[in-house]
Amino acid sequence: LHRPRLAQAPRQQQQQRRRQQLLRQQLLRQQPRRRQQQPQQHQLRPQQQRRQLQQQQLRRRRQASQRQPLQLNFLVEDSDTTGLIPATSTTTAAFIDQAFWPLDNNALELYNGLNGVLSGTPSYTTSFLGYGAAISLSQASSQYVYISPTVIPLDSRSFTIEAWIYPTGFTA
């Protein structure tokens, strides 16, 4: 008996699908299981990113503290009735590799205790990222953050300052 071709087509499609399924199963058995070998990668939340950054900075600070301390030489002059008596003294300051002032509602430094002093009562605004705050300084009100020059001797070595600044206006 002759069967119509239309009846054979679905059966051939089923057989072809079954062969493809068997082939996929064989390939999966031969390949190593990637999901078990590799941990899942996921995106960190902003708080986790900040915590991770702080931990990295703390590790760098610990490594830096194992370096040689900075030697400071200075001249001290004292006077008496006969004139000036020069004297030389050497002191060793703690090695400071970096300092971090987030200026998040205060002028505290996070790692070394090298706190700044706010002058002119600056205001704070919500940060761009949505957590914390950002300091807002006004030149007209003589607002600034004072950090003692004895904390880090910026006049005797090269240094880098990094800041995110959002100017709201310029005057000529």
Mean pLDDT to the nearest integer, 69-85:
48
- pLDDT, one tens digit per residue, over 38-70 is 445 556 677 777 788 888 887 777 666 555 544
| Higher pLDDT, residue 85 or 140 | 140
How many angstroms separate the CA atoms of 165 and 127, rounded? 12
117 φ, ψ to 5°?
-120, 125
The pLDDT confidence band at residue 166, using thresholds 50, 70 and 90, is confident
- Specify the higher pLDDT residue, 2 or 167: 167
Residue ranges per domain, the chain? Answer: 48-98, 99-172
Query: Which residues are bridge partners to 74 per DSSP?
Result: 89
The pLDDT of residue 172 is: 61
Query: Please, what is the average pLDDT of the chain?
Result: 70
Q: What pLDDT, on a 0 to 100 scale, did the predictor assign at position 73?
A: 47
- pTM for this prediction: 0.40
- Each residue of 4-44: pLDDT tens digit? 555 556 777 788 888 888 888 877 777 665 555 544 555 66
- In the chain, the percentage of residues whose pLDDT exceeds 70 is 58
What pLDDT was estimated at residue 147? 82
User: What is the bridge-based pairing of β-strands 144-146 and 123-126?
Assistant: unpaired
Three-state SS at 125: strand
SS3 11: helix
